[in-house]
């Protein structure tokens, strides 16, 4: 097996007469975060569902380290906006679900480490509805990374959070992904988020979505809230915003 962690070539999807996206190429390497930016309703979420193997493409192919993707897998989980936690289970049981499904004996130890890494230690007995929005999103990400996937797909994971919580969560996620060298596709419509988290930015057009631009995000690797006022960030943001608004 070889090739990029995740690769999509000439990917297309349609629902009846509605063409959602067409000819989409995407490559993500280990340790890389690719931010996919596009207008609302352009098919970003559908693209991510196809990459996750939750829906088959109508054209093209998705491969993971060279192997064709044929369905959902713990190697390639997706986290969506809102709750994906199992509401009837407490936080610990939610986090242990993945390792237990794979028959791992160290599920409890993995969960302890994740609870500490996500700042949720001490909340392990709480039900999802007893957690705040920020805690729930951290827990949802922790739940899928418990299986240590090489690829992670994030669909506007912080879209429902207020600006302050979102920024704190973004800073946390930058460190969390860097530590694990997870190949990540982050779908967002927020330019700040795309530039803060992404190493590369892929911009999609209106439906049927196509890749209209790929951009290396030339910013220091250790990003934080301070990056938002860095002159390079500000210049890059202005440029991207201009292109988005002109599109």
Q: Which residues bind another protein (CB under 8 A)?
A: 52, 54, 71-74, 76-78, 80, 82-84, 86-88, 97-98, 101-102, 118-123, 127-135, 143-144, 146-147, 163-169, 171-172, 190, 192, 225, 228-229
- The answer to whether the beta carbons of residues 152 and 77 sit under 8 Å apart is yes
Short-list 206, 200, 195, CA closest to 170: 195
In terms of CB distance, is 29 or 190 closer to another protein?
190
Short-list 91, 130, 83, CA closest to 111: 91
In terms of CB distance, is 34 or 141 closer to another protein?
141
- The answer to whether the beta carbons of residues 90 and 124 sit under 8 Å apart is yes
State in angstroms the smallest separation of the CB of 127 from another protein.
5
In terms of CB distance, is 49 or 210 closer to another protein?
49
State in angstroms the smallest separation of the CB of 244 from another protein.
15
In terms of CB distance, is 60 or 82 closer to another protein?
82
State in angstroms the smallest separation of the CB of 140 from another protein.
8
What is the Cα 236 distance to its own chain's centre? 21
Neighbours of 242 (CB within 10 A): 10
Burial code (b: 16+ CB inside 10 Å, e: under 16) for 11-34 equals bbbbeeeeebbbebebbbeeebbb
In terms of CB distance, is 25 or 171 closer to another protein?
171
- Secondary structure (DSSP) of 134-189: HHHHHHHHHHHHTT--SEEEEESTTTTS-HHHHHHHHHHHHHHHHHHT-EEEEEES
Compute the C-alpha angle 28/111/223, nearest 5°: 40
In terms of CB distance, is 10 or 235 closer to another protein?
235
State in angstroms the smallest separation of the CB of 211 from another protein.
25
State in angstroms the smallest separation of the CB of 102 from another protein.
5
For the four alpha carbons of 214, 216, 219 and 221, in that order, the dihedral sign comes to positive
């Amino acid at each position: 097996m070889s090739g990029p962690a995740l690769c999509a070539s000439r990917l297309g999807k349609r629902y009846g007469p509605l063409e959602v996206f067409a000819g989409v190429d995407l490559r993500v390497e280990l340790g890389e975060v690719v931010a996919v930016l596009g207008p609302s309703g352009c098919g970003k979420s559908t693209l991510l569902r196809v990459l996750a193997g939750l829906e088959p493409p109508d054209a093209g192919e998705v491969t993971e380290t060279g192997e064709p993707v044929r369905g959902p897998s713990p190697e390639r989980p997706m986290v969506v906006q809102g709750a994906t936690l199992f509401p009837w289970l407490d936080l610990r049981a939610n986090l242990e679900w993945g390792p237990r499904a794979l028959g791992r004996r160290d599920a409890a130890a993995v969960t302890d480490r994740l609870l500490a890494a996500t700042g949720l230690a001490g909340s392990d007995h709480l039900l999802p509805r007893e957690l705040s929005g920020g805690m729930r999103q951290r827990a949802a990400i922790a739940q899928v990374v418990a299986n240590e996937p090489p690829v992670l797909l994030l669909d506007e994971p912080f879209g429902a959070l207020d600006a302050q919580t979102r920024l704190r969560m973004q800073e946390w996620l930058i460190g969390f992904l860097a530590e694990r060298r997870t190949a990540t596709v982050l779908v967002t419509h927020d330019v700040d988020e795309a530039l803060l988290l992404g190493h590369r930015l892929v911009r999609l057009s209106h439906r049927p979505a196509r890749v209209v631009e790929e951009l290396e995000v030339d910013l220091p690797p250790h990003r934080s809230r301070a990056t938002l006022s860095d002159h390079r960030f500000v210049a890059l943001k202005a440029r991207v915003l201009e292109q988005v608004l002109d599109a």
